[in-house]
Chain A
Amino acid sequence: MTELGLKIRLFASIVAASAMLSVLSGTAALAQAPVCSVWLIESSRFMNVPFGAFMPDRAFVPGSDKPMSNIPTVDLPVNIGVIKCGSELILYDTGWKQQEYLKMTGSDHWAPIGEQLKLLGFNAADVTKAVIGHAHWDHAGQLSDLPNAVLYVQRAELAAIEWALNYPEKHIKAINSDPGGCNRTPACGYMPLTMQEVYGKILKGQAKIVDGEMEILPGVIIHPAFRAHTAGSQLLEVPTSIGKLVFGSDAFSSYEGIRDWMVANIQQTDSVQQFLAYEQCYKITGGYEHCIAAHEPLSYTDKYPVTKNSWVALNGGRMAEIALAPGEKSRKP
């Protein structure tokens, strides 16, 4: 072989070695991209809710044989996301524990968050972050049971609550325990003991007041969804081994709503913003299957596929294992 041929051969082998190295590095980088393990816990279940109260487009019509209008009532879970990313344990929403509030709403199948986490092999003290989708009574009600968790709540949510609770018109500032109660008026759902839960975290210096988007861990990102349910609603994007998930609290009250583009649980909602929040999930995850809904009646069944790996736990409440990070053991009994 000529000297030039040898040089060309040497050059080619260096190029090949470099290419091999970059492929291996890329693969290693991909393998190192952080992913989280995810479970879903049912804090309690609202029983016998008129379907039309939850989703106006599904209002029951007596005698109807149409699937959109032939179901009179549904049971709605209150879903909590349990998200383990390395050594960090995050809850998305916290459910509630105030027995009077559970009674007021005809709820059943409640169990305390500490006991539910124990069933998954965690302690409440292990929770490092609590991201609440919004501050309604069934979502921010167990913060004080998470002694080491930092609360993440949007400034816009707190500002809107303060405005509503102090508004001088009694219907606008009405909460659920006021005479006549409330339905979808601005302060509905922001009950005294729930506000104490939020205040307690702020007072202890265990709260981050969020302004819009925030990456709280690599790949774990808070996205604002203002007025998609309440003024300061927020979503949480989570990378997992099955792809990205987006938790939406009540902005994503219904999986069928996200799939079929219907409004759901329109408490203090701007319906346009709710649809834009659905669109965010489609864009982030590539579809609707990985949008995690707070109150979907089909939760924990085959009909809501991402939640189908489920089992019955405390007091008839349900849990599901959604995704496991490499090396993470299954916590399904």
Chain B
Amino acid sequence: MSFAGIVYETESHDARQLEQKIEPIAKFFDDAERRVGGLAVPASLSKVHGQYLEAMALYRKASDEMLAFTKDGGRQHLIDAQGMGMTASEDLLRAGEVLWPGQYKPH
């Protein structure tokens, strides 16, 4: 998602191209949020489940903001999306420390 933004800003300046890159990403996060939300988790993992779910939701919101930019050209959408994406990455890392201590952590 960051690199779709970087390419838009530095090379293409093509909102349609950006939209085409972000749409599948937005769908991915939407699916991920629903799948993670539907998981039955033990009580001991409910807190980290909640954190993971929030991070997925934040990624989805970030992708929605980027799509909103492709519709109305409002730059604040991109700035907000970048901030959300960074927070979501950091939150995923924190949740990942519980789920995969000492291992690779997708974020």
Q: Which of A158, A176, A200 contacts B104 (CB 8 A)?
A: A176
Q: Do B2 and A192 touch (CB < 8 A)? A: yes
Q: Do A193 and B5 touch (CB < 8 A)? A: no
Of the four ranges (under 10, 10 to 19, 20 to 34, 35 or more), the interface on chain B belongs to 20 to 34
Q: Do A100 and B105 touch (CB < 8 A)? A: yes
- Please report which residues of chain A, range 197-237, place their CB below 8 angstroms from some CB of chain B when the two chains form the complex: 198-200, 202-204, 207, 209
Q: Quick one: closest B residue to A198, CB to CB?
A: B6
Across the interface, which residues of B come within 8 angstroms of A155, CB to CB?
A: 10
Interface string of A83-107 (1 = CB under 8 A from B): 0000000000000000010001000
**Stretch from A12-20, A161-169, A238-246, A276-284 forming part of the interface with B:** A161-169
- Please tell me if A196 contacts chain B, counting CB pairs below 8 Å: yes
Across the interface, which residues of A come within 8 angstroms of B78, CB to CB?
A: 203
Q: Do B3 and A165 touch (CB < 8 A)? A: yes
Chain B, interface SS category: helix
B34 to chain A, nearest CB (A): 22
Q: Do B107 and A177 touch (CB < 8 A)? A: yes
- Please tell me if B68 contacts chain A, counting CB pairs below 8 Å: no
Q: Do B2 and A199 touch (CB < 8 A)? A: yes
Q: Do A166 and B89 touch (CB < 8 A)? A: no
- Please tell me if A178 contacts chain B, counting CB pairs below 8 Å: yes
Q: Which of B82, B90, B93, B104 contacts A203 (CB 8 A)?
A: B82
Q: Quick one: closest B residue to A165, CB to CB?
A: B3
Q: Do A100 and B93 touch (CB < 8 A)? A: yes
- Please tell me if B79 contacts chain A, counting CB pairs below 8 Å: yes
- Please tell me if A179 contacts chain B, counting CB pairs below 8 Å: yes
Q: Quick one: closest B residue to A205, CB to CB?
A: B9
**Bound Cα distance A173, B5 (Å):** 18
- Please tell me if A195 contacts chain B, counting CB pairs below 8 Å: yes
- Please tell me if A181 contacts chain B, counting CB pairs below 8 Å: yes
Across the interface, which residues of A come within 8 angstroms of B6, CB to CB?
A: 158, 162, 195, 198-199, 202
Q: Do B85 and A196 touch (CB < 8 A)? A: yes
- Please report which residues of chain A, range 180-196, place their CB below 8 angstroms from some CB of chain B when the two chains form the complex: 180-181, 192-193, 195-196
Q: Which of A165, A176, A196, A202 contacts B9 (CB 8 A)?
A: A202
Interface string of B19-54 (1 = CB under 8 A from A): 000000000000000000000000000000000000
**Bound Cα distance A207, B10 (Å):** 10
**Bound Cα distance A130, B51 (Å):** 34
Interface string of B67-99 (1 = CB under 8 A from A): 000000000001100100110011001000100
Q: Do A178 and B104 touch (CB < 8 A)? A: yes
The 3 closest A-B pairs by CB, nearest first: A199-B2, A195-B2, A196-B86
13 contacts between A and B (CB under 8 A): A100-B97, A162-B6, A165-B3, A177-B104, A177-B106, A181-B104, A192-B107, A193-B93, A193-B107, A195-B2, A202-B6, A203-B5, A203-B9
**Which residues of A pack against B, CB within 8 Å?**
100, 104, 155, 158, 161-162, 165-166, 176-181, 192-193, 195-196, 198-200, 202-204, 207, 209
